[in-house]
Each structure stands twice: as structure tokens, then as C-alpha cells.
Structure 1
Amino acid sequence: GYSVRYLRLPRLMEELGLAHGDGRFAKLMAGYAKTDLLILDDWGLAPFTAAQRRDMLELLDDR
């Protein structure tokens, strides 16, 4: 089978921000990169900060 994750973008951005602070960022990103299908919902509810844009670029680039 395939691994699938459904994530709301506002919650993902919050989680990535916290992960930067507590050292989980690399592990969290590796987990997302290994997921076969990553569904990101609720785009455009709020503008990205510069840090969030970098995180999204890294997330999408790793896939």
C-alpha cells in the first residue's frame, strides 16, 4: 500500500515552526519526504512569512 498524510497548511506551518525550536525539524521533514501522497489543504488562508516560504520550498523540493 501507499502511505498518505492529510495536513491543513495552517497547522503544518505551526508544527514546522515549533519543530525548528525544539530540534525536530529534520526528522519531521524526513517523515514528510517519505510519505507517498502528501495532501496539503487550506492554501491561501493566510500569507506565508519568509521562514514559512523557505520551509514549504524545502518540503516540496525534498519530494
Structure 2
Amino acid sequence: MRNIWPWLGLLLVLVAIAYQLRRQGRLWLCACGRLQLWTSDVWSADNSQHLADPYSFTH
């Protein structure tokens, strides 16, 4: 039972973050409405809107 407290704490923090982001009007996905893991075109409107892009490795 003792090992469950860190996981519950982590879950609480993630829920609080999601709540605050939603309260600020942030979008869950990019404005295009698609969920992509990778976008390789650095000149597209999708750049830096998904999980990873070519710039992910620099920061």
C-alpha cells in the first residue's frame, strides 16, 4: 500500500495540469485536429504542433 502514494501524487499533479491548461483555453490537439507522433516538414503549419519534429533533438 505504501508504494501507491507516489503514483497517486503523480496522477493528481497530471490532473491539475490538465485542468489548468483547459481552463486557460489551450487546445488538446493542434488546430488541424490530427494527432501525429512525428512531422518532418519544418516549413509546414504542423511544425512544433505535434509530439516530435526535427527540432525535438536540439532541445
TM-score, normalised relative to structure 1: 0.28
TM-score, normalised relative to structure 2: 0.29
Larger Rg: 2
Higher helix share: 1
Q: Which has the higher contact order (CA 8 A, sep 6+)?
A: 1
